[in-house]
Structure 1
Amino acid sequence: MASSQYVTKIITLLFCVLGGQTQLTEPGLFSAIRRNFTQLAEQAGLPCEEVQITTEDGYILDMFHIPGDKGHPVLLQSGNFGTADDYMLRGNTSLPYVLWEAGYDVWVGNVRGCRYGRRHVSLDPDRDDDFWNFSFHEFGVYDTPAMIDYILNRTEAKTLSSIGWSYGTAVNYILGAEKPEYNDLIDCIISLAPIAYLHHSKPFSALIPIAPLFFDTMIFMDQNEVFGENSTEITSLRNTCSTPTVAHEMCLTLMDLLFGSDPEQIEAEFAPKIFQQFPSSTSRKNIMHEWQTLSSKRFAHYDYGPEENKIRYGSEKPKEYDLSKNKISIFLISGKNDPASTLADVALLKPQLPNVVEHTILKPKNFCHLDFVGGRDTHKRLYEPIILPILKKYNNNIKQEANKP
């Protein structure tokens, strides 16, 4: 019954988005109020520098720097379909602001394919299919190392702290498994809503039956980019979910189903700000890899099929990530009302990571997936009482002077 409810909601929303209910709004209304990371930071009173980094395989990514004490670098990684913008949703109570005000040198990263990662030294995302030949595996193996190398070279610090949210946690685990030499460059990892396994995620599991049709349609249409910034679908979705229509209410319901409901912290009038920034573009292959994680119940490399798997991995099944190679001190932080990162799935993950210092389950019973970056009082519930003490202990142990607005 629950699965059919999720599928019905999703199909209804798709009809609303693609069926014309967005015509109730002016086409330019949404774009006029959308802001990029630099604008969001400036609006909150933060200094902000935009830098470009190039990965080993040629992708050019924007990274945002909020300058603080160079001896205290902290890297923030966004979730799947997200960008650095997600961390700035709450302005001067957002995580980057809280970290900067406490004296840290804050760096907010982006992965290939998102609005801040659609460039390459030789490939054109609008013309070359090869540009989109990536999944979250490459986020961990190429994008994250490039960010770390740049930050440590720029700051001359020996280590940094890494904070990830949602799938931004998975890329850290992949990095540790595939490039364990980076264990010595990260003093601690703070995983907000940790994701590796999705066995117990009911709303996402409900998508398994309809996913093949979704992928077959994209393959038939030769669509490699999903949620493209200028696509009709994403423009309709943003307008629909940001204006007071029947479809808007459906967007809120779907958001609650997928990410949990906490109306006191993610108030209805705040939802349009979320849809201004989320989702961002990614590749079809990335979504397929996530679906494979769901359907196979394994946290493994991309599944190319038995024949190609034997060539790539030496076995018919893709090899699982060896999480035992993660030697970094890891802090897992969970919400009780998070259908994307369930307590049961985090319980499967925890024993596979050899150096989990603590698994904190936040006390509020309604704390959901979006609360980690968008909750109205998350600075009081999480950032100040939990994250800052962890960083104070693990982040280089040198003199720290707070920044002041």
Structure 2
Amino acid sequence: MYTSSPSLYLLVIIIIKQISYITTEKLPSALSSIELATKYGHPPTQYNIITEDGYILAVFRLPGRSRIPVLLMHGILDSSDMWMLRGNTSLAITLANNGYDVWLANSRGNRYSRRHKILNPDTDPAFWQFSFHEMGYYDLPAVIDTILNESGAKKLSAIGHSQGNTMFYVLGSERKEYNSKINVLIALAPIAYLHNTPPPLSIVIQLSPLIESLVKKLGVYEIFGDNSTTGLLVHKFCSTPDIAYAVCIEQILFPVLGFDREELEPEFAPTLTVHYPAGTSVQSILHFLQIGYRKMFARYNYGSKVNRRTYNSPDPPEYQWDKITMPIALLAARNDRLSSIPDVAILRRRLPSVVFYLENPRSTLNHVDFIVGRNMPVYLFPYIFQILHENNHFVD
């Protein structure tokens, strides 16, 4: 439980309201996904995919000679950029260099998928009424169908990071016909439960009812978008060389995701912070906080009144693990403070089709090392290529 402090409540409101008066400036320049892929030798094709509910998603294809496409799905507040920031030692470029047909998706609401057929993200709050549920239920089917149609393959392989895996659990549970379209999901830093997260995140989870009440009162829908006040502040502040590492990495990122200065070095910090965060809905953050607070992997909790209208129940329904039959490889890290080993263990017990499990032998591997660590080709890529080799099956 939590105790509501009126003075704390008022202070947070004042701070957030004052932030809105800060003069906005242009973000520091950053290479786009198209520019990154082209820079490293793989000029991509862009697809603008429209979901069932009208969102327009940007997906980039790095064509390869392999007949089996590989879909890379980023985590929360992230984008397709992150898979290429390390250049020739990044996962997307390494896969492309080895002949894989690589597809980089962007979930709704980030910098590449902030579009809709009807809704305006700047003026329509309805645009932002989504979380990983809608990403799994609508975004992934649209992306998977497009990939299979364009490639001629019957099945694909997928690699997810963090929320990029949560989406697949929703897909397998809610749209079970898609289980058979996936050779294997390689789940890097998989997230489904947040029972065992240490401070400071555990404190935020306990305060989540207060946080949810505040954002609703203030009418905040988007967070850390490129043109939002929060996004402009973070990118401007954290791209400053003297601040990027000492504050944004060591004081903010590492306490939540795990400390590992060897893999995320000071020289790389400005490159990371100009691309990350890439924006999402506030509801996406709140959904994960609800999972931690309620200790249930369930649909979004709107409150009993709206839940009854939406789910015909005062409580949101839990996702059904037994329907998730796609083969899944779980790759966890002992120094991951967000996707902790005990929480991954709960997930592993729930999933009926785990084909591979690994606690990475590198003891300081953290949550973000899986996608931007300096030495990924040494401690991570051999396992990914092994799993792909053992599970990739082309169906005529």
Using structure 2 for the length normalisation, give the TM-score: 0.90
Shift of residue 283 of structure 1? 1.2
Shift of residue 372 of structure 1? 0.3
Secondary structure of 2:380 counterpart: helix
Matched, 1:112 2:102: no
> Could you tell me whether the CA contact under 8 Å between 2:153 and 2:394 is conserved in 1?
no
Query: Cα 1:47–1:158, aligned 2, differ >3 Å: closer, same or farther?
Result: same
> Could you tell me whether the CA contact under 8 Å between 1:53 and 1:147 is conserved in 2?
yes
Q: Which residue of 1 aligns with 2:28?
A: 31
Secondary structure of 2:205 counterpart: coil
Range that drifts further, 215-224 or 66-75: 215-224
What letter corresponds to residue 367 of structure 1 in structure 2?
A: L
Q: Which residue of 2 aligns with 1:401?
A: none
The counterpart of 2:63, out of the listed 42, 54, 67, is: 67
Shift of residue 70 of structure 1? 5.3
What letter corresponds to residue 230 of structure 2 in structure 1?
A: E
Q: Runs of 5+ in structure 1 lacking a partner?
A: 1-10, 399-405
Q: Which residue of 1 aligns with 2:334?
A: 336
User: Equivalent residues in 2 for 1:258-273 (5 A)?
Assistant: 258-273=256-271
Q: Which residue of 2 aligns with 1:4?
A: none
Q: Which residue of 2 aligns with 1:167?
A: 163
Matched residues in 1 for 2:386 and 2:219: separation? 49
Q: Which residue of 2 aligns with 1:370?
A: 368
What letter corresponds to residue 351 of structure 1 in structure 2?
A: R
Q: Deviations over 1:340-365 (max 9, x none)?
A: 11000000000111010121111111
The counterpart of 2:248, out of the listed 247, 251, 262, is: 251
Matched residues in 2 for 1:103 and 1:393: separation? 17
Query: Cα 1:216–1:311, aligned 2, differ >3 Å: closer, same or farther?
Result: closer
Q: Deviations over 1:3-32 (max 9, x none)?
A: xxxxxxxx99x98xx88xx99xx955x523
Shift of residue 313 of structure 1? 2.5
Q: Which residue of 2 aligns with 1:82?
A: 78
Shift of residue 233 of structure 1? 2.5
Q: Which residue of 1 aligns with 2:283?
A: 285
Using structure 1 for the length normalisation, give the TM-score: 0.88
Matched residues in 2 for 1:44 and 1:308: separation? 49
Q: Runs of 5+ in structure 2 lacking a partner?
A: 1-10
Matched, 1:42 2:38: yes
Shift of residue 117 of structure 1? 1.0
Matched residues in 1 for 2:241 and 2:108: separation? 33
Q: Deviations over 1:82-126 (max 9, x none)?
A: 111111111111111111122110001011111111111111111
Q: Which residue of 2 aligns with 1:323?
A: 321
Secondary structure of 1:53 counterpart: strand
Matched residues in 2 for 1:285 and 1:48: separation? 31
> Could you tell me whether the CA contact under 8 Å between 2:67 and 2:394 is conserved in 1?
no
What letter corresponds to residue 120 of structure 2 in structure 1?
A: D
What letter corresponds to residue 243 of structure 1 in structure 2?
A: T
Matched residues in 2 for 1:201 and 1:271: separation? 25
Identical pairs, percent? 42
Higher relative contact order (CA 8 A, sep 6+): 1
Matched residues in 1 for 2:123 and 2:266: separation? 39
What letter corresponds to residue 230 of structure 1 in structure 2?
A: N
> Could you tell me whether the CA contact under 8 Å between 1:174 and 1:323 is conserved in 2?
no
Matched residues in 1 for 2:158 and 2:346: separation? 22
Matched residues in 1 for 2:389 and 2:176: separation? 25
Q: Which residue of 1 aligns with 2:119?
A: 123
Matched residues in 1 for 2:246 and 2:221: separation? 30
Q: Which residue of 2 aligns with 1:230?
A: 227
Q: Which residue of 1 aligns with 2:204?
A: 207
> Could you tell me whether the CA contact under 8 Å between 1:204 and 1:294 is conserved in 2?
no
The counterpart of 2:306, out of the listed 305, 308, 311, is: 308
> Could you tell me whether the CA contact under 8 Å between 2:82 and 2:275 is conserved in 1?
yes
- The alignment's C-alpha RMSD in Å is 2.4
Secondary structure of 1:208 counterpart: helix
